């Protein structure tokens, strides 16, 4: 049982569970509540090996297609962090949220709420994010 979720769900109640967690995530991050917008999430360290250019492109593309974008992560490199601070400043609002910290409860909510989990990587073969998101 995951105590970080607004509602536990499985194959039998996925529609209700996904909706409850989407609402909770949107409320926590100040996103608009329009329920039909797909929600794309990223939980990642913001480093070159993760393909940070892919994350930036995905954020812009997600918003241009009418969906919402959520990012949880931070960059150990101050230059990269500054770039993402700028991205948050330009894109953040009712359809995009950027949270630059480690937050285990928020990561659970992102995995449970999002319709798409972006797993960028230039070469890292690990599949933990994919397994957690399932």
The per-residue pLDDT for range 6-32, each reduced to its tens digit, is 999 999 999 999 999 999 999 999 998
Q: What is the pLDDT of residue 131?
A: 61
114-118 long-range CB contacts below 8 Å, 24 or more apart? 114/22, 114/25, 114/39, 114/40, 114/41, 114/70, 115/18, 115/38, 115/39, 115/40, 116/38, 116/39, 116/40, 116/41, 117/40, 117/41, 117/42, 117/43, 118/40, 118/41, 118/42, 118/54, 118/55, 118/58
pLDDT of residue 51: 86
- Tens of pLDDT, residues 53-92: 999 999 999 999 999 999 999 999 999 999 999 999 999 9
pLDDT of residue 107: 96
State the pTM of this model: 0.90
């Amino acid at each position: 049982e995951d105590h970080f979720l607004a509602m536990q769900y499985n194959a039998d109640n996925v529609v209700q569970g996904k909706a409850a967690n989407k609402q909770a995530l949107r409320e926590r991050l100040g996103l608009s509540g329009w329920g039909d917008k797909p929600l794309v999430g990223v939980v990642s360290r913001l480093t070159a090996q993760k393909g940070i250019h892919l994350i930036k492109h995905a954020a812009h593309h997600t918003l241009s297609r009418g969906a919402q974008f959520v990012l949880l992560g931070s960059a150990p490199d101050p230059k990269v962090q500054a770039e993402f601070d700028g991205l948050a400043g330009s894109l953040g609002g009712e359809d995009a949220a950027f949270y630059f910290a480690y937050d285990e409860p928020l990561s659970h909510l992102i995995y449970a709420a999002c319709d798409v989990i972006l797993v960028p990587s230039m070469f890292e073969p690990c599949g933990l994010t994919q397994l957690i998101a399932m």
